[in-house]
Amino acid sequence: MARSGTTGEETGTAGKEAEALARKEAAVDAAIVATKEELSHICHLSHATPESDIIGIFAIFAIFAPMVKNQKKHLVSFPVDCLPGGVRQYTVAVSESLQVPADMVASFVFAVLSLCIQGKYSIRVKADWVETLNLYVLVVARPSERKSPTLKEVFKPVFRYVKEENERRKSEISEYEIKKRILSGKLKNIQDTLSKPTSKAKYTVQDAVDCQKELDELEEVTKLQMILDDVTPEALVKAMKANSEKMGIISAEGGIFGMMAGRYSNNTNIDIFLKSYSGEYFSSVRVGSGGITLENPLLTVCLAAQPQLIADIMDNKEFRGRGLLARFLYSIPNSMVGSRTYRSKPIDQLIRADYENLVEELLNIPDLTGFERVIRLSPEADALSEQYNQWIERQLTDELEEIEDWAGKLHGNTMRIAGILHVVKHKSNAINVLLEEDTMKSAIEIGKYYLEHSKQAFDIMGLSDPQEVKDAKYIISRIDSNSKNSKIRFISKRDAFDLCRGHFGTVEEMEPGLKCLEEHGYIAIKPEKSGRGRPSEKIYINPEYYKWKEKQNVKTR
């Protein structure tokens, strides 16, 4: 028989279940309120807006996937056997003594040799192509890799030469300054006398002209300066003008990039660095001065920098756009940190003496104003050069397409290396001997070494990334730089655009980069109603990004 109602017992059971459910719901509500109060307290302590922070906690992030390419753990080592005997022995000895990679030593040594002979020699690659022998070198290494001691050791003979040369010049400088003061005083006396209408004609205008001519023809003698560190472009131009239009920039920190980017003037100024790579005519015109003209400026640049520096370089579009980064040979030595020996073998004094004597001999080769010694290739070396050129050319639209600007200069840089190796072998007799096949083979092997390392460097800099990835990295780097030492949890899209103003013309131009950041789990974007009108959007930063970043910072210490 069907039942049409419920018993008292059933009603009681249902009531108990309802009460239990109500208690559970009340407990959940209380937990939510407590959580919100705790979050509000935390946010208050960190000066954040509680409501915004609470909303941010419920932002849904994609799985965090760092925008970094799979970088090779171990790159090919520098082909030390391609170096001439004495230079090879010195490179190996310094590497062993200081417990640093031979790559670092060899790259620094090439910079020294470049500095010694820049402007004295060039190499004729083919009938209508001549390369100067100066190099731009950048070694990437962590802070604990002993970059400064290595630079100090390798450049020691150059610093000693400069010191001794300036001691020798002391009397010549004094003589020049005395003559200049006398002639300047004489000219002023003539001009003052001629300017008095009532005075007797003790001097004539021709006397003033003759005195000025004598002053102009007085050969200036100044202290020799061959090496600068972090110098402004303007100061560099002045120093080059006073030193036969040549200079070396040597730094273990890479701060020169900040100078180029306009650390003190807010204007990127890289003209002198671009033109001094190949000796192009340079002229600067400044308000209130006559400006400075350099007919054939040449620079050797040798920098040692931390990985973070070259990652930051990508922020400056002008460095890449105008070809500055394409001029450098990059070396990323395999780290020896963690496997270095305490009681290493000291540098053999005979090996060091041979190296220092070589440097001194190259420095003492005189500059010939208006004449440059040109190295020519043997037929065998010329054939190898052509094959190498075509090997590079075939890859410019394929494997090397992402670094086409750099790879386009690889053949020329390799010919510069060949010229340096040739001068080291034959010294002052270099132009009387054709560059041999073996020398060209060695130069090409070294060029291929720099190719592999430079590809890695461009990956680190993000310069071989698609545009949306470059934009994404730029956006997150600007947000990072704005947060200083704290971890910013959210930022409005408008504020993010303000941080990136100059890189993007409109908010819409920033969208592909933001989308890329979302897809990789760096950020989540949520609309937020703040009154009437269109909801504003906030960008929330994934805490996983900060965890990953901290791990990366630990790895580079």
Query: What is the structure's pLDDT at 198?
Result: 64
User: Is the separation of the CB atoms in 298 and 279 below 8 Å?
Assistant: yes
d(CA 156, CA 137): 18
Percentage of the chain with pLDDT > 90? 51
d(CA 287, CA 4): 105
d(CA 398, CA 386): 19
d(CA 297, CA 244): 8
- Whether the pTM exceeds 0.85: the reply is no
> Range with the lowest mean pLDDT among 258-272, 274-288, 358-372, 463-477?
258-272
CA 229, 230, 234, 237: dihedral to nearest 10 degrees? 20
Q: Which among 462, 413, 143 has a CA at the least distance from the CA of 304?
A: 143
Per-residue model confidence as pLDDT tens digits over 140-159: 988 889 999 999 999 999 99
Query: What is the structure's pLDDT at 290?
Result: 65
The larger pLDDT score, comparing residue 482 to residue 246, is at 246
Max mean pLDDT range (48-62, 67-81, 246-260, 336-350): 336-350
Strand partners, 305: 140
Strands (E) across 278-432 are located at: 282-284, 292-294, 298-305, 328-331, 373-375
Query: What is the structure's pLDDT at 52?
Result: 43
The larger pLDDT score, comparing residue 299 to residue 221, is at 299
Q: Residue 488 — pLDDT band, cuts 50, 70, 90?
A: confident
Q: Which residues contact 519 (CB under 8 A, 6 or more apart)?
A: 62
Max mean pLDDT range (134-143, 223-232, 440-449): 440-449
Residue 365, phi-psi category: left (phi > 0), alpha (psi -120 to 50), beta (remainder): beta
Query: What is the structure's pLDDT at 223?
Result: 92
Query: What is the structure's pLDDT at 463?
Result: 64
**Which architecture characterizes domain 46-67+465-555 according to CATH?**
Orthogonal Bundle (1.10)
Q: What is the DSSP string of 252-269?
A: SS-THHHHHTTTTTSS--
Residue 514, pLDDT > 70, answer yes
Per-residue model confidence as pLDDT tens digits over 295-353: 999 999 999 988 777 766 766 677 877 889 999 999 999 989 889 999 999 999 999 99
**Kind plus residue range of the DSSP H or E element containing 538:** strand 536-541
Which amino acid is residue 55, in one-letter code? I
pLDDT, the chain, mean: 85
Per-residue model confidence as pLDDT tens digits over 173-213: 999 999 999 999 988 988 888 888 765 667 888 989 999 99
Per-residue model confidence as pLDDT tens digits over 5-45: 455 555 556 666 667 666 666 665 665 555 555 555 444 44
Q: Residue 66 — pLDDT band, cuts 50, 70, 90?
A: confident
d(CA 220, CA 99): 45
Percentage of the chain with pLDDT > 70? 80
Strands 523-528 and 121-126: unpaired
User: Is the separation of the CB atoms in 334 and 74 below 8 Å?
Assistant: yes
Tell me the backbone φ, ψ of residue 491, rounded to 5 degrees: -155, 145
d(CA 542, CA 522): 5
Q: Summarize the confidence of residues 468-476 as an average pLDDT.
A: 87
Residue 87, pLDDT > 90, answer yes
Strands 227-228 and 246-251: parallel
Residue 126, pLDDT > 90, answer yes
d(CA 489, CA 39): 13
